[in-house]
Amino acid sequence: MEQVRALVFDVFGTVVDWREGVARDAAPFLERHGRADIDPRAFADAWRRRYQPAMEECRSGRRPFTRLDILHRENLEAVLRDHGLDPAAIAEAELDELNRAWHRLDPWPDTVAGLTRLKARYIIAPLSNGNVALLLNMAKRAGLPWDAILGAEVAQAYKPRPEAYLRTADILGLRPEQVALVAAHNGDLKAARGCGLRTCFVARPREHGPGQTTDLAPSEAWDVVATDFVDLAAKLRC
């Protein structure tokens, strides 16, 4: 980690708790539409299950790069239909408002304190599949002190495509080994390592709720393994 100048962060799950945030905003929506029987966390999980397949259309080249706000919105309409709700019968503004739940996710308790310490020594920026407006609105609301907003939209490629990591390093004016990815997901770190980036694993064992079975521990010897962002700052002597 001696050469590292910039830390770039996975966001959904690593920086913020998407499941509780989406569920919090889905609950009153479902209730308004007479569907208080649907568990808002299960609704969040169902919405999120459509995330990778939607991006895969872009990664594969079957569809041009399309920002996440648009994929999220298409996925929302599909998940509503799956639950017997007709999106065409719901006001556009209301769908848009719920879609923006992804802009209003709360950070994990250690996130802001850890980022603030890390920022004193490193360039810090998201390297997320979220689009710029989503990440910027999230940062503004949550007080995430990013130096820049990077990620899939700026790189025009979704992780784990190599271009997402390599173009981000290039835009920063750095070589891959001068950039470290911080993520709670072993797969993301593996792809970053494959591109020459350094890797920091931070466990987020409640990302998928109390029954989580994935990414509970590092799957490889990542350069740094930390329990949260404050521990990461301590391990990097920030």
The candidate with the shortest Cα–Cα distance to 22, out of 98, 82, 84, 132, is: 98
Binder among 10, 25, 153, 207 for a second copy (CB under 8 A): 153
Q: Which of 13, 49, 32 lies closest to 97 in space, CA to CA?
A: 32
User: Which residue from 146, 201, 222, 229 is in contact with a second copy, where contact means CB under 8 A?
Assistant: 146
Is residue 66 part of the contact set for a second copy (CB under 8 A)?
no
Phi, psi of 2 (to 5 degrees): -60, -40
The residue from 1, 57, 85, 137 that contacts a second copy (CB under 8 A) is 137
Window contacting a second copy (CB under 8 A); options: 26-34, 76-84, 131-139, 175-183: 131-139
- Shortest distance (Å) from residue 223 CB to a second copy: 23
Q: Which of 15, 80, 132, 195 binds a second copy (CB under 8 A)?
A: 132
Is residue 173 classed exposed, middle or buried when 0-12, 13-18 and 19+ CB atoms within 10 A define those classes? exposed
Does position 172 interact with a second copy (CB under 8 A)? The reply is yes
The CA-atom distances, in angstroms, between 186 and each of 131, 178, 202, 216 are 22, 20, 10, 9
Q: Which is nearer to a second copy, 30 or 138 (CB)?
A: 138
Structure tokens at 208: 């998928």
CB 38 within 8 A of CB 212: no
- Residue from 69, 188, 207, 215 in contact with a second copy (CB under 8 A): 69
**Residue from 4, 139, 179, 230 binding a second copy (CB under 8 A):** 139
Q: Name the token pair of 184.
A: 């709670």
Asked if residue 68 binds a second copy (CB under 8 A), the reply is: no
Residues whose CB falls within 8 Å of the CB of residue 215, separated by 6 or more in sequence, listed in order: 184, 185, 186, 203, 204, 207
The residue type found at 4 is: V
Distances 209 to 27, 28, 96, 103 between C-alpha atoms, Å:
16, 20, 26, 20
Region of 104-112, 129-137, 158-166, 198-206 interacting with a second copy (CB under 8 A)? 129-137
State yes or no: residue 164 binds a second copy (CB under 8 A): no
What lies within 8 Å, CB to CB, of 140 at 6+ separation is none
Among the residue ranges 43-51, 85-93, 127-135, 194-202, the one whose residues contact a second copy (CB under 8 A): 127-135
Q: Does 140 bind a second copy (CB under 8 A)?
A: yes
Q: Is 148 in the site for a second copy (CB under 8 A)?
A: yes
Q: How many residues of this chain interact with a second copy, rule: CB under 8 A? A: 21
Which CB sits closer to a second copy, 123 or 202? 123
Q: Could you list the residues that contact a second copy (CB under 8 A)?
A: 69, 123, 131-134, 136-137, 139-140, 146-150, 153-154, 171-174
